[in-house]
Amino acid sequence: MAEPLLKFDPAAEAGQRKQVTVAIGDGVGPEITAATLKVLEAAEVPLTFNTVDMGLQCWRQGLSSGVPAESIAAIRDSGVLLKGPMTTPQGSGMKSLNVTLRKSLGLYANVRPVRAYVPYVDSHHPEANLVIIRENEEDLYAGIEHRQTQDVVQCLKLVSRPGCERIIRYAFEFVMTRKRKRLTCMTKDNIMKLTDGLFHEVFNEVAQEYPAVETEHMIVDIGMARVANEPEAFDVIVTPNLYGDIVSDIAAEVTGSVGLAPSANIGETISVFEAIHGSAPDIAGQNIANPSGLLLSSVKMLAHLGLGEQAELIHNAWLRTIEDGMHTRDIYRRSRSRTCVGTDGFADAVIRRLGQQAVTLGKAHYPRRLLQTTPRPPQREQQRELVGVDIFLNSRDTALDLANQIQAAQTAPLELSMITNRGVQVWPAGAPETFCTDHWRCRFTMPQDAESSLNNRDIFHLAMRIDEAGLDVIKTEHLYEFDGKPGFSMGQGQ
C-alpha cells in the first residue's frame, strides 16, 4: 500500500516535509477534519499538519474577521490551508470569514468538481462529471457599492485584463493536466460588452496557445439552463465570479453531490481546500456527518501539491468505499447501501481500501507535476486619449429641463451630447414611456471639428460651472479611447 508513495516525495527531496495548515472548523468540522486527517495519515502522505484557530470561537472572543493574525501568518508560511466549515454568526454584523480569506490571501480561482455516483448516490444525471472554475476576486464581488441619490444604488463591476488572464490560463492548464478535453467559457457579453467582453476576448486569445483544448463560448443564461438540464454535456467551465457562484451550486445540486463535493481556492502563493457544505450544526457531535467533501478536498490539495500518486491512492479507495455500499446516513438507502457507517467508521472503511480501485465508478487520475501558469509577457500599452466625461447629477427635474440648464452652463471645448436615466437615453431623443429616477448621466464630448485636445482641467472646470448653476453633481467618469476604440458603453437607444 505505502510502496508507491515513496517514489515521489518532493518534500523529502528538499530535505523537509511540506507543512499544511489546518483549521478544524465549527459544527461537524472537528469530526470530519479528524476523519480526513486519519485517512491522510494512514496513506502516509509526506506532509505535516499544523492546526490554527479560526471561526466561531474567535468571533466569540470579539474578533470580527473570525481569523486571528497569527493564523493568517501560519497560512502564509505554509501556503496551504485545509479548512473545515465555519459557522457564520447570523445578524451580528460579522464579516464573512470566507470572503476575508479569499480577498486577503489573493485566492483568484475557485475550482469545484462535481460528478454523479449513480447507482450508489441518487442523481437524475448519471453521466455528469464536470468542473467549474470560477473567478474569485473581481466582478461585482469587489464590493464597491454606493448610494448617491434617494432612488438609486449602484454596484461596480470591475474586471481586469490580468485578472481574466490568470483565471483563464489556470482553466486551460487545468484541462491539460487533468486530461480533460473541452473548456466552455460563459459570459453575458451581448449585454456587458466591455466587462464580460474582456473576459471573452482574453479567453479567445489564450485559447490560441492551447490548440489541443476544444473551446466554446455560451451566453451565461442559456449556459446555466443547459447545466441544469444536461450537466453531462459539459467538461470544464470557466466563468466570472457571480455566474460561477450560481452555476457551481446548480451543478452540485443537479448531480446530487452537494454533500460530497470538494472545492479548491487557488492563489499565486496560497491555496485553501474545503468541502462546499457548511458546518451542519443540526448534526454536530453525533458522529454521523459525511466526511467525503473535506476528504475529497484534501485529495485536491495533494494533487495541487504535486502529490498525484497519493491523491489517486486515497480517491480510488474512497470511490471503492462508496461502491462497496459503506455509506454515511445522508446517502444511506436500504435498497442500495450495505452498511450505515458513522463519520469515523467511514474513514476506517476508506483506510481499509487504500490500494484498491472501484470497479464501476472509474479510476481517479491526477498529474504527477504541479500545475504551472506562466503569464504572458505584458502587452504593449495602448494609446489612451481623453475624449469626454459623464457627469452624474441628482435631480427631480425632467430631462429637457436639465438639458436646458446644462447647456446654459457648459463651457468649451465640451458639449452635452446625451442624457441617460438608468442607462436609457432620454435626451436629445427618448421614449415617453421611459421611467426616470433622480439619477442622471450627462455625457459631454468634444464637437467633431474641435481642434484642441481635452485635459482634466477642462473637465473639472465644466463640473464647477455645472455646480455653480445649482445642479447637484454626484460623480464623474472620464471617457477614454484606447488606440482609437471607445473605452465606454453607449446609452441604450443611442
State in angstroms the smallest separation of the CB of 85 from ligand NAD: 4
Nearer to ligand NAD, 87 or 136 (CB): 87
- How many CB atoms sit inside 10 A of residue 339's CB? 12
Nearer to ligand NAD, 163 or 262 (CB): 262
State in angstroms the smallest separation of the CB of 414 from ligand NAD: 50
State in angstroms the smallest separation of the CB of 88 from ligand NAD: 3
The binder of ligand NAD chosen from 85, 306, 342, 430 (CB under 6 A): 85
Nearer to ligand NAD, 290 or 310 (CB): 290
State in angstroms the smallest separation of the CB of 411 from ligand NAD: 54
Q: 416 with 390: CB under 8 angstroms?
A: no
Nearer to ligand NAD, 86 or 317 (CB): 86
State in angstroms the smallest separation of the CB of 121 from ligand NAD: 12
Cα 213 to chain centroid, rounded: 22
State in angstroms the smallest separation of the CB of 298 from ligand NAD: 14
Q: In what order do the strands lie in the sheet with 18-23?
A: 47-51, 18-23, 80-83, 271-275, 262-267, 107-115, 129-135, 236-239, 182-187, 214-219
395 lines the binding site for ligand NAD (CB under 6 A): no
Q: Which stretch binds ligand NAD (CB under 6 A): 212-220, 285-293, 434-442, 464-472?
A: 285-293
28 lines the binding site for ligand NAD (CB under 6 A): yes
451 lines the binding site for ligand NAD (CB under 6 A): no
The whole-angstrom separation of Cα 195 and Cα 489 is 10
State in angstroms the smallest separation of the CB of 409 from ligand NAD: 51
Q: Which stretch binds ligand NAD (CB under 6 A): 42-50, 104-112, 140-148, 287-295?
A: 287-295
446 lines the binding site for ligand NAD (CB under 6 A): no
State in angstroms the smallest separation of the CB of 267 from ligand NAD: 17
The binder of ligand NAD chosen from 11, 49, 76, 98 (CB under 6 A): 98
Nearer to ligand NAD, 231 or 293 (CB): 293
Nearer to ligand NAD, 85 or 244 (CB): 85
Q: 477 with 388: CB under 8 angstroms?
A: no
The whole-angstrom separation of Cα 14 and Cα 281 is 41
The whole-angstrom separation of Cα 278 and Cα 155 is 27
86 lines the binding site for ligand NAD (CB under 6 A): yes
Q: Which stretch binds ligand NAD (CB under 6 A): 5-13, 86-94, 101-109, 124-132?
A: 86-94
Instruction: Please count the residues of the chain.
Output: 494
State in angstroms the smallest separation of the CB of 110 from ligand NAD: 11
Q: Which stretch binds ligand NAD (CB under 6 A): 2-10, 286-294, 373-381, 456-464?
A: 286-294
State in angstroms the smallest separation of the CB of 92 from ligand NAD: 11
The binder of ligand NAD chosen from 282, 381, 433, 449 (CB under 6 A): 282
Q: Is 61 exposed, middle or buried (0-12, 13-18, 19+ CB in 10 A)?
A: exposed
Alpha-carbon distance values, 364 to 264, 309, 317, 451 (Å): 17, 10, 10, 67
Q: Mark 252-281 with x for binding to ligand NAD (rule: CB under 6 A) and - for no binding.
A: -------x--------------x--xxxxx
The binder of ligand NAD chosen from 36, 187, 290, 337 (CB under 6 A): 290
Nearest one of 18, 21, 92, 10 to 56, comparing CA atoms: 92
Nearer to ligand NAD, 28 or 313 (CB): 28
- Residues in the site for ligand NAD, rule: CB under 6 A? 28, 32, 85-88, 98, 259, 274, 277-283, 289-290, 293, 330
